[in-house]
Amino acid sequence: MNGKRYLLDTNAIVQLLAGNKELAGIVRGADFLATSVVCQFEFLSYPGLTEPDARLYAKFSSRIHTFSVPADDVSFSDAVVAFRRTKKLKMPDAIIAATAKVNDCALISADDDFKKAEGLPRLTYSPD
């Protein structure tokens, strides 16, 4: 891994935007900060999302990179399938894990399901 490259899971985005100090300290030193389009979908489709939350996310997302789901990348597809089949991750989590893996990022998440993804660099934090 070159430098501190992090991919934020949806729960990390929520916590970061809510002011989680521990998480802010982690990402402050990042050389590269990103998320997956899957996390963007999860955040923006939350039923209780307010207009101010949507505006805050738009401002935040303009400062980080959002990875799409590449349809023609065999290594990405293979990673998704492997996380789904061998680690039994739910499909959205398999896509998020594969996104972190193929883009050489450590995943930041408080979701314990990612513990199943041995070998995937992962940072955790204490949710507020």
Does residue 99 belong to any structural domain of this protein?
yes
> 53: exposed, middle or buried (C-beta count within 10 Å: 0-12, 13-18, 19+)?
middle
Does residue 128 belong to any structural domain of this protein?
no
Model confidence pLDDT, tens digit, residues 69-125: 999 999 999 999 999 999 999 999 999 999 999 999 999 999 999 999 988 999 999
> 77: exposed, middle or buried (C-beta count within 10 Å: 0-12, 13-18, 19+)?
middle
Domains identified in the chain, total number: 1
> What's the CATH code of the domain at 90?
3.40.50.1010
Range of the domain at 18: 5-123
